[in-house]
């Protein structure tokens, strides 16, 4: 379905981003992974190529504006930018807001909010110049929908990402550029490593489906929203969380 489309996935070296890159490539897209982790990023690229997919790795720290501009330019050099997945993110050091250190607050906002702003901004500009429309999917979180104790900066950043997706979607709908936000709940990836195993077990007990999501399950939703199958969907926030926010 995505034959020949060029897609960027930030934070595509491991986790949800890697699963998304693999699925996009399986559907025929040319995938550009932008990540700070070169070793795992190149391993994911090799895996995709081993399955007859097309993929490239570019070093990109999403908290550096010039890195994102260069990433978008690299995609344009592959034939144009059709799909942008702003996925890179960190959880930050868990602490209640009143004890959150300023440097932790700033670092999470730099990566999880400003990084997505630059990704959406420069992808939008490239898609507008290309004149063929495009699809942007921003990876937010259920932490941006409800209060998120001990993950204050993360929740604030993710709420901002949802808002940014809706605003951009309205501004660019007439140009055929769709922008949506995906809000995963607890998903089995390295981002959860900061949580003690006992905390993780408690989290699982609180999920109606009694398990965490898999990166592949989240990737299925992201790729659907990026594909022509979602042609009438823009400005939406999709929760995918095993039912936890329904409680």
Positions marked catalytic? 154
Q: How far is CA 65 from the centre of its chain?
A: 17
Q: Which of 183, 184, 156 is nearest to 100 (CA)?
A: 156
* Distance separating alpha carbons of residues 38 and 35, to the nearest angstrom: 7
Residue among 3 and 246 whose Cβ is closer to ligand NAD: 246
CB of 72 to ligand NAD, least distance (A): 14
Q: Give the interface with ligand NAD as residue ranges (CB under 6 A).
A: 10-11, 13-17, 35-37, 60-63, 87-90, 111, 139, 141, 184, 186-187, 189-192
Regarding beta strands 30-35 and 6-10, do their DSSP bridges make them parallel or antiparallel, or are they unpaired?
parallel
CB of 132 to ligand NAD, least distance (A): 26
CB of 3 to ligand NAD, least distance (A): 26
Radius of gyration of the chain (CA): 17
- Asked if 2 contacts 227 with a C-beta cutoff of 8 angstroms, the reply is yes
3-state secondary structure of 9: strand
CB of 229 to ligand NAD, least distance (A): 22
Residue among 125 and 245 whose Cβ is closer to ligand NAD: 245
Take residue 200 and report the two structure tokens written for it.
């993780």
Residue among 11 and 168 whose Cβ is closer to ligand NAD: 11
CB of 231 to ligand NAD, least distance (A): 24
Residue among 173 and 204 whose Cβ is closer to ligand NAD: 204
Residue 204 Ramachandran class (φ > 0 left, ψ -120 to 50 alpha, else beta): alpha
- DSSP-H helix ranges across the chain: 15-26, 38-50, 65-77, 102-109, 115-130, 152-172, 197-205, 215-226
Residue among 27 and 194 whose Cβ is closer to ligand NAD: 194
- Asked if 124 contacts 135 with a C-beta cutoff of 8 angstroms, the reply is no
Residue with tokens 């932790």: 104
């Amino acid at each position: 379905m995505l034959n020949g489309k060029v897609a960027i996935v930030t934070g595509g070296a491991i986790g949800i981003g890697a699963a998304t890159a693999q699925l996009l490539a399986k559907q025929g897209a040319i995938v550009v992974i932008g990540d700070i982790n070169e070793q795992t990023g190149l391993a994911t690229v090799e895996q995709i190529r081993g399955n007859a997919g097309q993929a490239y790795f570019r070093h990109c720290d999403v908290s550096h504006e010039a890195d994102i501009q260069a990433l978008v330019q690299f995609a344009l050099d592959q034939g144009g930018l059709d799909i942008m997945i702003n996925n890179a993110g960190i959880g930050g050091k868990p602490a209640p807001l009143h004890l959150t250190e300023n440097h932790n607050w700033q670092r999470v906002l730099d990566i999880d909010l400003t990084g997505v702003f630059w990704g959406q901004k420069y992808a939008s500009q490239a898609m507008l110049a290309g004149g063929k429309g495009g699809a942007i999917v921003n990876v937010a979180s259920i932490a941006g929908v409800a209060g998120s104790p001990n993950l204050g900066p993360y929740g604030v950043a993710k709420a901002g990402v949802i808002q940014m997706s809706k605003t951009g979607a309205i501004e660019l709908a007439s140009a055929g550029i769709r922008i949506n936000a995906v809000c995963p709940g607890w998903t089995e990836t390295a981002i959860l490593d900061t949580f003690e195993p006992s905390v993780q077990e408690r989290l699982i007990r609180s999920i109606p489906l009694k398990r965490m999501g898999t990166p592949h399950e989240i990737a299925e939703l992201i790729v659907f929203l990026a594909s022509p199958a979602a042609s009438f969907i823009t400005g939406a926030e999709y929760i995918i969380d095993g039912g936890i926010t329904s409680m």
